[in-house]
Structure 1
Amino acid sequence: MTSNSKLLGAAALAGVLVLTGCTAGSTSSGNASSGDKRTLTFLTFETPNLDAKYWDAAIARASAKVPGVTIKKLVAPSSDRTGYAKQLDSTGQFPDIMIGLNPAGFAQAGKLVEWSDTDLANYAQPRANTYGGKVYQLPFSTQTTLVYYNKSNFAEAGIDAPPRTYAELLDDSAKLKAKGFNPFVVGGGGKDSWADMFPLMCTVASEVYKETPDWLSQRAAGKVKFTDKAFVAAAQKVADLAGKGYIDRAGLSRSYSDTEQAFRDGKGAMYPMGSWFSASADTKKPSFDTGVFAWPTDQGASALPSNTGGGMTVSSKAPDVELAKKWAKAFMEDTENLNAGVKADGLIIDIKGYAAPDDMGPVYKETVAAYRQAQTANGIVHSFSQETGDGSLPPGLADKAAAGVQDLLSGRMTASQFGTYMDEQWDKATR
């Protein structure tokens, strides 16, 4: 997953690297080589699901398969490793290997190595994210946005099944509110402003991307605008949910982790969130049973926002590019690493022949089933603000969108004003 925050200043960067760097497989060294070993820097991030212990174990497994490599781990100060990578690049410290990086900008500038068809032979969707027809990130997993819900709240409100249309979603929200339940848990305060985007991701999927899958490419070509009817309609649905009191405005200041905890604590019946929540729901089960459904469209057709990618990118200036690629593939394709990622972060793996562990919990299994059902129904669409590859938001615009959604949800900005704001931010980002 991604998040956005103000990053540390360049003057503090050297100190940050000293504090976050560590090695796996050999002794620490900042040199390009150490004895007969080659030292490569690896930029990652940490979350409550993917903590230091998880990354160190995964690094060690990959390093055991690639003799001659010493990995120096660099940890981004926030989940925004793309912004941190840009900062490192500006000071001549661009990492050799990175995971979950948004390649936009880096790829076009020649800073990343292309993955060949041979490199991608094991991947189920090898061309999920291309830049000018080339692949710069291993597309090893999918993350999607679903609605996780409190089955007890639904039952008490007399709701016997998840909504199948948007009208039913509104009706269910009214029933929940009448029973004293906050219908939706949504946060996104402080550095976690990205977390407020999930309702809009879902409405853009249904109102915009379902009918026009290449909408952002058309926006880049000047054929459509954010002030057009379809996008404003998507924003209006989100504004209406807050206006009706279905999204608790008081909760918008919560951090990502506090927002998840609020759902766990029963402070809301529905939690629109990335599929990684499924791992948390199964590992640390709330006091209630958690269900899963895809955000419904007006007519009930499938429009599930999803993003496939998330894997390794390699710097074109790495001290040993081929060795860096070999280590990156070893990390991505190691079964134990994949299993650990599935268990820790609810990943839906897109590597041929891979099967998730049999003991995965019910929320994860329902999450995967919802994704597969959308695939079968030809209902997979892009995930607004999370796109990568050709036809994605310009760098930095996702941050601006999240800031605008705060104003949209709080009532400080109308849907039409949000569309105007997004067009203005697009123009600034592409000058």
Structure 2
Amino acid sequence: MRRSIAVGLVTLLAVSGCGMGAEAEKPAAGGGNVTLSFLVFETPNLDAAFWDAAIARASAKVPGVTIKKLVTPNVDRTGYAKQLDASGNLPDILQSVNPAGFAEAGKFAAFTADELKNFVAPTAGAVAGKIYQLPYNTQVIPVVYYNKTQFAEAGITETPTTYQQMLDISAKLKAKKITPFVVGGGGADTWADMYPLTGTVATDVYKKTPDWLTQRATGSVKFTDPAFTSAAQKIADLAKQGYIDPAGLSRSYADTEQAFRDGKGAMYPMGSWFATSADNKKPDFEIGAFPWPSDDGSLVVPTFTGGGTSVSATAANVDLAKKWALAFDEDQQNNDAFVKADGSIPAIKGYKPPADMGPVYKATVEIYERGMAENAIVNAFSQETGDGSLPPGLADKTAVAVQDLITGEKPTSEFTAYLDDQWAKATQ
């Protein structure tokens, strides 16, 4: 989940309880009362009250555990966790922190097959065959959300199933002086510009080569190869044709979402977490949803499954920390709350979303369910975790470089060469 983080700095000097500093060096054995630190992040959808309520529900199921909540102070929660680790203050439990690097260094505790038995995709995000982050949630990244009123104004009566049809729709919208795509990424929210590229990588690269990033790690493929270059060139072309307004890149995530609500563009490629926001804060037009289309019209649904809790290998009590993490991620009310606040698609066996979810959320889930039924699920580029993911830090650098691709400051050849260069530096 990549979202704009509401700043909520928790001063480390104020943190008490086990798992921070010297106390974390010797895990406690057995039961008894224990205080565990829990690193979370806040967004407009997932505010402090949301986390407090979810923590209370999990704690009620695990007697003897007191949770000390910590809040990531910026958008890069994985980077912040690394800072804490470097200072000897790795939290006992961490929410939605990429386990890459931590797992290989023995910093996180692995979950057992029995502990993962209730998850739909128990091997998602595996590192060397082991799971260090509970795969509790699936997101479709991106979904193309669209303004049905503006489509009607441009004489568009059907959503596109091929990429050429999406280009034809964009031309009709532009002819009506309607910006086809709303894309942002200003300030700390550079990640928000990634989703058109994530869509084209899914359809042009991952559809044919699902393990492309694993092959990139072995050197079998490169970003400068024709397949990835073609995917990147599509984004450059969208901007050149005036279908993406480069001026919009200065907008924060929140401002970009508002721009779509204000009718400043007809299509908004964004992660599925937008769905409940769209239902809860309805604009004065109806919102629809369709998957990013492929050249031949076949369905491709890029997804991420993971994002759950991880447990420090040096937690004050690893067994209790894992038990609490499972209670947090498997709790029915917690998952209902995540669905209603953040458009989650919980990857828990037997879970059903609340029946009163809105139409945009239901349309989003339908895309995911079609992908599952048609075996059309692929990874969402830049969102991967575990083996077959980008080296730490490269996703953020890619998002910054995408801005240069959209503005034309970097031609596609330089953009892809830059990614290969940054990969080499990150893996030296």
The residue that corresponds to 2:268 in the other structure is 271
Amino acid at match of 2:209: T
Structure 1 CA distance for aligned equivalents of residues 16 and 212 of structure 2 = 42
Query: What TM-score do the two structures reach when normalised by structure 2?
Result: 0.94
Change beyond 3 A, Cα 1:31–1:429: closer
CA contact (8 A) 1:146 1:295 kept: yes
Structure 2 CA distance for aligned equivalents of residues 331 and 199 of structure 1 = 33
Amino acid at match of 1:209: Y
Amino acid at match of 1:71: I
The residue that corresponds to 2:11 in the other structure is 16
Amino acid at match of 1:251: G
The residue that corresponds to 2:257 in the other structure is 260
Q: For 1:31-56, what per-residue CA distance to the aligned partner results, in whole angstroms no more than 9, with x for missing partners? A: 789xx621100001000000001000
Instruction: After TM superposition, give the deviation of residue 16 of structure 1 in Å.
Output: 2.7
Structure 2 CA distance for aligned equivalents of residues 406 and 119 of structure 1 = 42
Q: Does 1:199 align with 2:196?
A: yes
The residue that corresponds to 2:363 in the other structure is 366
Please list every run of at least 4 consecutive aligned residues from structure 1 whose deviation after the TM superposition is greater than 3 angstroms: 30-33
Instruction: After TM superposition, give the deviation of residue 280 of structure 1 in Å.
Output: 0.1
Q: 1:116 aligns with which of 92, 105, 112?
A: 112
The residue that corresponds to 2:288 in the other structure is 291
CA contact (8 A) 1:96 1:315 kept: yes
Structure 1 CA distance for aligned equivalents of residues 385 and 3 of structure 2 = 15
Instruction: After TM superposition, give the deviation of residue 22 of structure 1 in Å.
Output: 9.4
Amino acid at match of 1:178: A
Amino acid at match of 1:377: E
The residue that corresponds to 2:2 in the other structure is 2
Structure 1 CA distance for aligned equivalents of residues 361 and 201 of structure 2 = 25
CA contact (8 A) 1:4 1:194 kept: no
Amino acid at match of 2:391: P
Amino acid at match of 2:157: D
The residue that corresponds to 1:418 in the other structure is 415
Amino acid at match of 2:45: N
Q: Unpaired segments of 5 or more residues in structure 2? A: none
Amino acid at match of 1:96: D
CA contact (8 A) 2:3 2:43 kept: no
Instruction: After TM superposition, give the deviation of residue 375 of structure 1 in Å.
Output: 1.4
Q: 1:70 aligns with which of 66, 77, 81?
A: 66
The residue that corresponds to 2:298 in the other structure is 301
CA contact (8 A) 1:203 1:237 kept: yes
CA contact (8 A) 1:143 1:348 kept: yes
Percent identical among aligned pairs is 63
The residue that corresponds to 1:92 in the other structure is 88
CA contact (8 A) 1:4 1:80 kept: no
Structure 1 CA distance for aligned equivalents of residues 23 and 51 of structure 2 = 22
Q: Does 1:383 align with 2:372?
A: no
Q: 1:206-285 alignment to 2 at 5 Å?
A: 206-285=203-282
CA contact (8 A) 1:22 1:74 kept: no
The residue that corresponds to 1:26 in the other structure is none
Q: Does 1:134 align with 2:135?
A: no
- Residue 424 of structure 2 aligns to a residue whose secondary structure is helix
Instruction: After TM superposition, give the deviation of residue 286 of structure 1 in Å.
Output: 1.0
CA contact (8 A) 1:279 1:342 kept: yes
Q: Unpaired segments of 5 or more residues in structure 1? A: 24-29
Amino acid at match of 2:12: L
Query: What TM-score do the two structures reach when normalised by structure 1?
Result: 0.94
Structure 2 CA distance for aligned equivalents of residues 287 and 4 of structure 1 = 24
